[in-house]
């Protein structure tokens, strides 16, 4: 049984939103310090090779020649000039990446990247993702969702169930490619540790109904909440509330209380790599499939790929793979369907191109925000700093005592300001640029919040550290366009 979402940490009062979110999209571009930014939603991270090439064309013709992967498996294009929106929309339309302009920012669907691929895959939930996307794009009410609202579909291995979904579906046993046979699903909302058990074929409709129930609660709460966790306490959403919406939609559901077959995740929730017999979907390397074929999983250092690297992956998928690619929430890409004999040599070619192909790489589980010059709010060029640290063999600034407990698989994340854009979920190591230098803390879901550091901007932060366990940072005052 996979883990449930990590418990809600102690937090500030829910924010009151005076307006809708300003999250960037493919059609709503965000002005950044390095030009405009577009965020293209890729539901479940699924791309055809043709669509991947179209994104490379957009980055090459209109952007800065690079593509960024987000923690939700989406793609960002940076450095876009004024007046390019029409041409960008045309490129994306032609590639089938904009099925509905009204819904393009709400197609936030995250799914287990290796579903249906590895030797011991528990369930293939990609059908859920495709069907849910169709339902979202056909729903008038769904357009009221914010660009931050997130659907998570876990195939049962527990790799994405704890990644902060507003509506989470977890497969309980084998689901076939068409979603019509096999076992059922557990549906969760926000941080409610209880769940609803539903039939597998009902999962996509149930997810949409849960989102519509959230919209009703958000309207009643009158705080402009964008996400389930932002609802005020007197209008908090539970699965019991969702059950009523499911009944109205003709979907049968049974209540599963916490502790009744639904394990509750505590320390380390959201840290990948503990899925037992299942392949680790966060790790780079070769994935053995049931059909004798192989998938290649690679990571992009700090989530950024050049157009050349991106085209290499797209061409490999088209020429020797299944013609598809999958983006992962760990800022990586999976190329399925290669012949077994081709897997190792092709992986070496990807390594030679500068991609991360080995779990022992120092770039594995290291991330960073955009930093300067792309973000004016950053205190420093974070990516240059972390690159220098990795090349020097010291990606973690000194200062944490040996006695400080640090989970072995905890990701390391460098941030240029307190917003910590794109930071991991669960337990992680926070390297934050402050006035005094880089402050290092171990972030845990249930620890007290840290005192915010000084906000003055130093010329060049130096490496300092503190050894405290802190709760995930609160962001009630965060700008609406906060990156993923």
pLDDT score at 177: 52
Average per-residue pLDDT in the chain?
A: 86
Q: Are 297 and 57 in contact (CB under 8 A)?
A: no
Q: How many CB atoms lie within 10 A of CB 34?
A: 17
pLDDT score at 181: 47
Q: Which residues contact 420 (CB under 8 A, 6 or more apart)?
A: 369, 413, 430, 432, 473, 475
Does the pLDDT of residue 398 top 90, yes or no?
no
Q: How many CB atoms lie within 10 A of CB 50?
A: 14
pLDDT score at 291: 87
Give mean pLDDT, residues 219-246.
95
pLDDT, tens only, 188-215: 999 999 999 999 999 999 999 999 999 9
Q: How many CB atoms lie within 10 A of CB 130?
A: 19
| Gap between the Cα atoms of 221 and 234, Å rounded | 8
Residue 182: band (very low, low, confident or very high) from pLDDT cuts 50, 70, 90 = low
Q: Which residues contact 261 (CB under 8 A, 6 or more apart)?
A: 1
Burial (CB count within 10 angstroms: exposed 0-12, middle 13-18, buried 19+), residue 24: buried
| Gap between the Cα atoms of 442 and 429, Å rounded | 5
Residue 409: band (very low, low, confident or very high) from pLDDT cuts 50, 70, 90 = confident
Does the pLDDT of residue 265 top 70, yes or no?
no
pLDDT score at 483: 62
Question: Torsion angle of alpha carbons 340, 345, 347, 351, nearest 10°?
Answer: 170
Residue 148: band (very low, low, confident or very high) from pLDDT cuts 50, 70, 90 = very high
Residue 175: band (very low, low, confident or very high) from pLDDT cuts 50, 70, 90 = low
Lowest mean pLDDT among 255-259, 292-296, 337-341, 449-453: 449-453
- HEC-encoded secondary structure of 272-320: CCCCCCCCCCCCCEEEECCCCCEEEEEECHHHEEEHHHHHHHHHHHHHC
* Predicted model pTM: 0.88
Q: Which two tokens stand for residue 363?
A: 């770039």
Lowest mean pLDDT among 165-169, 257-261, 372-376: 257-261
């Amino acid at each position: 049984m996979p883990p449930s979402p990590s418990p809600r940490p102690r937090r500030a009062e829910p924010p009151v939103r005076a307006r809708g979110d300003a999250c960037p999209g493919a059609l709503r571009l965000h002005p950044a310090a390095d030009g405009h930014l577009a965020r293209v939603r890729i539901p479940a991270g699924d791309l055809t090779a043709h669509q991947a090439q179209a994104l490379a064309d957009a980055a090459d013709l209109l952007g800065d020649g690079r593509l960024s992967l987000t923690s939700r498996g989406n793609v960002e294009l940076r450095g876009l000039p004024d007046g390019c929106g029409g041409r960008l929309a045309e490129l994306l339309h032609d590639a089938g990446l904009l099925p509905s302009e009204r819904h393009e920012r709400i197609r936030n669907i995250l799914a287990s990247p290796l579903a249906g691929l590895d030797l011991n895959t528990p369930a293939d939930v990609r059908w859920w993702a495709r069907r849910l996307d169709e339902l979202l794009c056909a729903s008038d009410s769904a357009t009221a969702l914010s660009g931050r609202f997130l659907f998570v579909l876990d195939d049962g291995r527990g790799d994405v169930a704890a990644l902060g979904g507003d509506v989470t579906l977890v497969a309980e046993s084998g689901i076939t490619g068409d979603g019509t046979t096999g076992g059922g699903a557990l549906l969760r909302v926000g941080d409610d540790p209880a769940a609803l058990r539903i039939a597998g074929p009902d999962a996509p409709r149930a997810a949409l109904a849960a989102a519509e129930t959230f919209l009703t609660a958000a309207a009643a709460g009158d705080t402009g909440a964008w996400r389930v966790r932002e609802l005020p306490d007197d209008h908090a959403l539970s699965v019991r509330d969702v059950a009523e919406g499911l009944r109205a939609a003709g979907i049968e559901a049974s209540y599963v209380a916490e502790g009744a077959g639904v394990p509750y995740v505590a320390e380390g929730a959201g840290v990948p790599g503990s899925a037992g017999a299942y392949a680790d979907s966060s790790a780079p390397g070769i994935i053995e499939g049931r059909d004798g074929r192989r998938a290649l999983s690679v990571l992009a250092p700090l989530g950024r790929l050049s157009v050349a690297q991106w085209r290499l992956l797209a061409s490999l998928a088209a020429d020797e793979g299944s013609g598809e690619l999958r983006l992962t929430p760990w800022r990586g890409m999976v190329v399925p369907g290669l012949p077994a004999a081709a897997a190792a040599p092709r992986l070496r070619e990807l390594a030679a191109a500068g991609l991360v192909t080995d779990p022992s790489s120092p770039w594995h589980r290291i991330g960073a925000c955009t930093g300067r010059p792309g973000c004016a709010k950053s205190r420093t060029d974070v990516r240059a700093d972390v690159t220098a640290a990795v090349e020097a063999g010291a990606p973690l600034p000194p200062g944490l005592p040996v006695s400080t407990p640090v989970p072995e698989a905890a990701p390391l994340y460098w941030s240029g300001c307190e917003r910590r854009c794109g930071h991991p979920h669960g337990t992680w190591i926070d390297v934050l640029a402050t006035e005094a230098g880089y402050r290092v803390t171990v972030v845990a879901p249930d620890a007290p919040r840290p005192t915010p550091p000084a906000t003055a901007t130093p010329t060049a932060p130096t490496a300092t550290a503190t050894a405290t366990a802190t709760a995930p940072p609160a962001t009630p005052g965060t700008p609406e366009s906060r990156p993923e």
